[in-house]
Amino acid sequence: MSDYFLRLYKDSDYDVARELFASGMKEHIGKAFQHAIRQPHIWLPALASSVLPALNLVSVTTFILAFTAALVAVWFGARYMYTSYIDHSLSHDMLDIGQYYMQRDGYCFWVVESTGGEVIGTVAAIPSSEPGGEKHLELKRLSVAKQHRGKGIAKVLCKTLMDFAQRSGCEAVVLMTTLPQIGAWKLYEKLGFKQTHYCYPPGLLGRVLDFRVLVYKYNVPAV
């Protein structure tokens, strides 16, 4: 990290922090789509329907159009899972980052800045709102600019938050990520996080697409 330094968020970082978050999340739409079309309840009906033209039940053109429409529907479904979350976040905690994260006890927001003055990474901490998580800290908004990945920046951001949790007297750090975010959950596991369970977003679409939200926990060592 000789070419970068870690610091607390300031208001001039606002637009870049929001863009890093939004663009980072959108990168996973393709993987979510690929995972969805591999689900048996999606590809088996498509495979079975491929015999319909041979049986003269539908024309080849009709089959191709229907098959294409199904793929497009799955794509937009996968896209919606991320864009709806982005829209919610940008109008919630990311709407006024300074007020939400920097003016309340137990909250914090860090950025990594290059020596050229460019913000290229973020991470945020909030007290967990989950039942039984009174002494848990939640890791959120971890993002690193694509051209700066593979340099250990995400690891530094995570460790900064983990140290913050220890200094704050927290017993654990928790987080949620999604199955298509492979690089993220592999990093968390290397840092000592353990997956406790997974769940689906509210509604039927998440289950149809097998859009899993993975829940991780890291037990903070006692000081």
CATH number at residue 220: 3.40.630.30
What domain count does the chain have? 1
Query: What stretch of H or E contains 38?
Result: none
Q: How far apart are CA 94 and CA 13, in angstroms?
A: 12
What's the confidence (pLDDT) of residue 9?
Answer: 99
Predicted local confidence at residue 169, as pLDDT: 95
What is the domain range of residue 36? 1-223
- Residue 64: its pLDDT value, please? 76
User: For the chain, give me the number of helices (H) and strands (E)?
Assistant: 8, 7
Q: What is the pLDDT of residue 134?
A: 82
Rounded to two decimals, the pTM is 0.91
Of 153, 100, 154, 155, nearest in space to 127 by CA: 100
Confidence (pLDDT) at 46: 65
> What per-residue confidence (pLDDT) applies to 41?
84
Alpha carbon distance 161, 18 (integer Å): 19
Write out residues in the chain with pLDDT < 50, as ranges.
none
Q: Classify each residue of 155-175 as buried b or exposed e, where b means 16 or more C-beta atoms within 10 Å of its C-beta.
A: ebbbebbbebbbeeebebbbb
Q: Residue 9: in which H helix or E strand, if any?
A: none
pLDDT at 49: 61
**124 forms bridges with which residues in the sheet?**
109, 140
What does the pLDDT read at residue 51?
57
Residue 5: per-residue pLDDT? 96
